[in-house]
Amino acid sequence: MAQNSKKKWVVLTLAAGLAVVVLVVLASRGQAPSVTIVKIGREDLNATVTSNGKVEPIAPTVARAGFPTFVDHVYATEGQPVHRGQLILTLSAADIKSQLAQTEAQLLTAQADLRNARAGGPPDQVAELQGDLQQATVEVQNLERTHKALEDLVAKQAATQDELAQNEANLTKARAKLEALNQKKQALAQTASVTAGSAGLRVSESQDQARALREKVRSATVVAPTDGTLYSLPVRAGDYVQIGQVLAEMADLKHVRVRAFVDEPDLGWLESGQGVQVTWDAKPGRTWSGQTQQIPKQVVPRESRSVGEVLCSVDNGNLELLPNVNVEVRITVRERKDALVVPRAAVRYDKGQHYVFVFDGDKVHRRNISVGIASVSNYEVLSGLTPNDRVALPGELTLTNGMDVRAAEVN
């Protein structure tokens, strides 16, 4: 009887232990971590590079003060549309016009001196000397003929030696006069040559000065070179302006460009002609489209970043984008149609290998995958997964191969 009782207690003890084990196992299964599970699918995938940028007019006209003066009149207002030839403002240019008149008078004098020098000297002196030379030459020629005739007559005793001697004296005097006049002509020519050089320099200097002054006078009247928008007019009537100070900025703002500051690691994705989307905080919900035009050939420091400056053309037909505003730029660098995609949150990376945890109903198993392009939320799957697979989104949970999990949500 005692032996039967002992056996009964052993059986009860084993049963109780077994029950505890079963309860522990059941309890452990009930405490498996909860994980979001998603199904692999297909969609059109766009890989983008996002950066900040600044709006610029494509071909701006910047009017600057050509000389220090006062703003005379302003005929336009900032932000208004302008047409080619429209008067924007004028500067006071009375002093410049006076200088121009004086310089043009100096130019005329220098040009006259140059013409005279190239002609051999002053016209009155040249004419007088030319007349004297001609007269002296004729006189010498006449005396030479007379001298020859007298020599023949003296030989025939038809003339005296005194007459011949007197003619010789006159001939010597005439020749000396002719020689003096020729020397005077040479001296005048040499003087004219020197004068031509200096007069040429004065002509060149006066022409340069007159050209510069004419440009200043022209710049005193600011007009619109083409149809566009007067987007900057920082001066008012009566303001004093310095040389080079900006007076007005105009451009056709229907087409602008954005200078995007792309971080160095992203530059390898960029090509000309890629799609661009531009947003501006001042216009929430509004997007402007364009494309990349010029890819940078170098990187430059910008604050704490190393960036390449990418030029993008943007359609601004409604004239909402303003020059110099800061915008956000999204460049589409790759596109895939109907790509097999997996959420970026599901993908892990270790020692050069991408992997995910595939869910099979109560456990997750690690599976290596190959990925292609990436969007903000998804990776393109090149190999390792099929459209029927489901993967876990670990979140902050650390998953291991073969780990028991509970599906908190299946998408």
Helix (H) or strand (E) holding 98: helix 94-118
Model pTM?
0.57
Asked if domains 31-45+337-410 and 49-59+252-335 share a fold, the reply is no
pLDDT tens-digit series, residues 73-90: 999 999 899 999 999 999
Look at the domain 31-45+337-410 and name its fold: 2.40.420
CATH class of 49-59+252-335: mainly beta
Give the position of tokens 């000065």: 209
Using 70 as the pLDDT threshold, list the residues of the chain that sit under it: 1-30, 117, 119-121, 123-124, 126, 129, 181-182, 185, 187-195, 410-411
Count other C-beta atoms under 10 Å from residue 14's C-beta: 10
What are 49's two structure tokens? 């590079």
pLDDT for 281: 94
Structural domain boundaries in the chain: 31-45+337-410, 49-59+252-335, 99-194
pLDDT for 317: 85
pLDDT for 18: 55
Using alpha carbons, list the distances in angstroms from residue 183 to 96, 119, 135, 179: 47, 17, 16, 6
Q: Are strands 34-39 and 390-393 parallel, antiparallel or unpaired?
A: antiparallel
pLDDT for 329: 96
pLDDT tens-digit series, residues 117-158: 676 667 667 677 677 778 878 888 888 888 888 888 878 887
